[in-house]
Amino acid sequence: MNTTNNQPRHEARAVLWDMDGTLIDSIPYHLQAWLDVLRQINRTVEHQAWNQTAGMRNSEIIPLLFPDMSPAENAALDRAKEVRYRELIELQGVEWLPGAAEWIQRFKTRGWKQAIASSAPRENVVAIAHVLHLNGTFEAMISGADVQRGKPDPDIFLAAAQRLNVLPQHCLVIEDASAGIEAAHRAGMKAIGVLNTHAHLEADLVVKSLEELSWEIIENVMGVA
């Protein structure tokens, strides 16, 4: 049976990549950006507190860490932190995490559709794409600005699947954070967790590095005989 352009292709498969902590090690840049802007307003945060915020958006992080801040202060801090983060990325550059670039190419060779699905602001995704020369690498780039609710809600992955015109059950999510894994499962997708930033993840498969993956492993996760 033929399908129209807005009907999912039942045979198509897609891999949906988280960005921060999965494709790139951006944590030092984010942390430095937070430290720089917080220093300007005489605020500090214990390092352990940051562990609660992986995969969350600033609109969720700031009220959690600074419940006394007003909405206007939250918005100003949000903007300042992301501007500083992009400055650091552009000044210092950023590198792929082990295995990331290789697996992007392998999925492309196998004909899988690919998207970035990141909770980060759109400007951050664009900045990373520029620094890593990603033009044309992904068929979609979904940011936190494209959905109303961030991870662990499934919206961002469902939006990516829709943009790629692939059924959710034919999508594989690769993530480094618990919130992202939960979002993938709530979207009806399989998820591979990479232990780049956390010591434990509840995913369909957990690896220490993308270099541990093989096509046999991926097919097993997806339930391909």
Number of domains in the chain: 2
Q: Which of 18, 155, 176, 204 is catalytic?
A: 18
In a domain, 58, yes or no: yes
The angle that helices 122-131 and 71-92 make with each other, rounded to 10 degrees, is: 0
Residue 148's SS3 state is coil
> Which structure tokens are listed for 218?
């991926």
Whether residue 118 sits in one domain with residue 42: no
> Which structure tokens are listed for 201?
């993840």
Residue 176 annotated to the active site: no
In a domain, 121, yes or no: yes
Chain-centre distance of CA 132, in angstroms? 15
Residues (pLDDT < 70) of the chain are 1-10, 51, 54-55, 225
pLDDT score at 1: 41
In a domain, 175, yes or no: yes
pLDDT score at 3: 42
Longest dimension (CA), the chain: 63
pLDDT score at 60: 85
Start-to-end CA span in the chain (Å): 24
Q: Is the peptide bond before 152 cis (omega within 30 degrees of 0)?
A: yes
Of 77, 92, 107, which residue is a domain's last?
92
Look up the pTM and report it.
0.84
Work out whether strand 140-142 and strand 113-117 pair parallel, antiparallel, or are unpaired.
Answer: parallel
Task: State the CATH number of the domain containing residue 177.
Answer: 3.40.50.1000
Of 92, 121, 148, which residue is a domain's last?
92
Whether residue 204 sits in one domain with residue 138: yes
The domain of 200 spans 14-25+96-222
In a domain, 194, yes or no: yes
Whether residue 75 sits in one domain with residue 36: yes
Whether residue 86 sits in one domain with residue 116: no
Whether residue 189 sits in one domain with residue 78: no
pLDDT score at 10: 60
The angle that helices 58-65 and 71-92 make with each other, rounded to 10 degrees, is: 120
